[in-house]
Amino acid sequence: MIDRQAAYSGTKDVPTALTFDVARLGQYLVASVQGFAGPLTAKQFRGGQSNPTYLLETPSRHYVLRRKPPGKLLPSAHAVDREFRVISALHAQRFPVARPLIYCADESIAGTAFYVMDFVDGRVFWEPSMPGSNAKERATIFDAMNATLARLHSFDPSAIGLADFGKGENYVARQVERWSKQYRASETERIPEMDKLIDWLPEHLPPAQPTRLVHGDFRLDNLIVAKDAPCIEAVLDWELSTLGDPLADFTYHLMQWHMPHSDSGAGTASLMGHNLAALGIPAMTDYVDAYVARTGLDPRPHLPVYLAYNFFRLAAILQGIVGRVRDGTATSEHATSRAEMVRPLAVRAWEFAQIA
């Protein structure tokens, strides 16, 4: 049984398959980033399943590098250039993201395209029940999460330079098509529920919503919480961000209230089975009400369809990780255990489809 907090926190030595020439990178950063001075050392963060992420340490400062993994990649995946663009736009709006420093498409520097940003110190909670916290802090952090996502969905993309960051319209339909293809490309076993969902979802799409910037993977363990206060310092992992349906983005965030447990603990964390009132964590209905009050956007009439879609989408994302294990390009030592979650997620998605 994996202790998620221990397993995913901190850094580790960079595995051989994900190493790069640190000296070459250091020379590049000295020439390209104001104030950068070596010597440079690199460690890999334990958390994260897709784009390898590294802590860069110098005598005076810490930085973070995100890069594409090496090897064969699925189409349109691992778009670190898009990550850099979106956090640059959001940082200019004083939205909580790490300050972006430089993007580099030259694969001779670190083996693949990458970007560097500031290191944001703070806490990452790998369990939504937040072990070791207290009811007051949990309530405040959950409200801060809600407010942060509501603020993201309030931006007019054209006003912050992201008018062409995605197609926007027909977002859920395009996501269903994309993840159906990605799932088939990385499929390792037949899961009947996934087959049924691939047929069912295109015929049961929710109505169109205003086009907004969507994160794509907004959850507690993709946030850095201040060390000494219940506030959000930075939102991480923008790989799946685009223009689309804000309610699809918000209802992805709601999956933690319905997430199946994994026997190993390697799957996405869940609030199921916890006494939420005692923990200070809001019931999902109250959390939804708060988002509706902040944004005026209301997922409630179509919630089962959105949840069916999101559980299907996550199952396809995790199947992509399983495919990278098969192809030898997985970036996490816990990637293999993610395979156990694909079927339960598909089953949960089909359960929501049947009540939609």
- pLDDT tens sequence across 97-111: 999 999 999 999 999
Spatial distance between the Cα atoms of 209 and 35, rounded to a whole number of angstroms: 44
94, part of any domain: yes
The pLDDT mean for the chain works out to: 91
pLDDT for position 163: 97
At 323 the pLDDT is 73
How many separate domains does the chain show?
2
279, 304: one domain: yes
Domain CATH for 95? 3.30.200.20
Give the pLDDT confidence score for residue 208 in this predicted structure.
93
Same domain, 79 and 204: no
Nearest CA among 91, 327, 288, 58 for reference residue 187: 327
Q: Does one domain contain both 337 and 240? A: yes
d(CA 241, CA 254): 17
Nearest partner of 149 among 228, 95, 80, judged by Cα: 95
Q: Where are the beta strands (DSSP E) in 20-99?
A: 41-45, 53-57, 62-67
Q: Rounded to a whole number, what is the largest CA-CA distance in the chain? A: 58
Please report, to the nearest 10 degrees, the dihedral formed by the alpha carbons of residues 5, 287, 278, 139 taken in order: 70
Sign of dihedral through CA atoms 323, 324, 325, 327?
A: positive
Q: What is the CATH number of the domain that holds 273?
A: 3.90.1200.10
**Six-digit token string for 284:** 């999902």
Task: Please give the structure tokens belonging to residue 86.
Answer: 């979106």
Residue 126 lies in a domain: no
How high is the pLDDT of residue 50? 73
> Which of 84, 118, 152 represents a domain boundary (last residue)?
118
- Is residue 58 in a domain? yes
Q: pLDDT tens for residues 265-290?
A: 555 678 999 999 999 999 999 999 99
User: Does residue 166 share a domain with residue 113?
Assistant: no
Q: What local confidence, expressed as pLDDT, does residue 340 receive?
A: 80
Distance between CA atoms of 177 and 245, rounded to whole angstroms?
A: 15
Q: Which stretches of the chain score pLDDT less than 50? A: none
Residues 248 and 340 in one domain: yes
| First and final C-alpha spacing in the chain | 34
Domain that holds residue 309: 135-355
Query: What pLDDT is attached to residue 77?
Result: 63
Q: What are phi and psi of 164, to 5 degrees?
A: -105, 25
Same domain, 190 and 273: yes
C-alpha angle with apex 169: 168 to 172, nearest 5 degrees? 90
Residues 105 and 167 in one domain: no
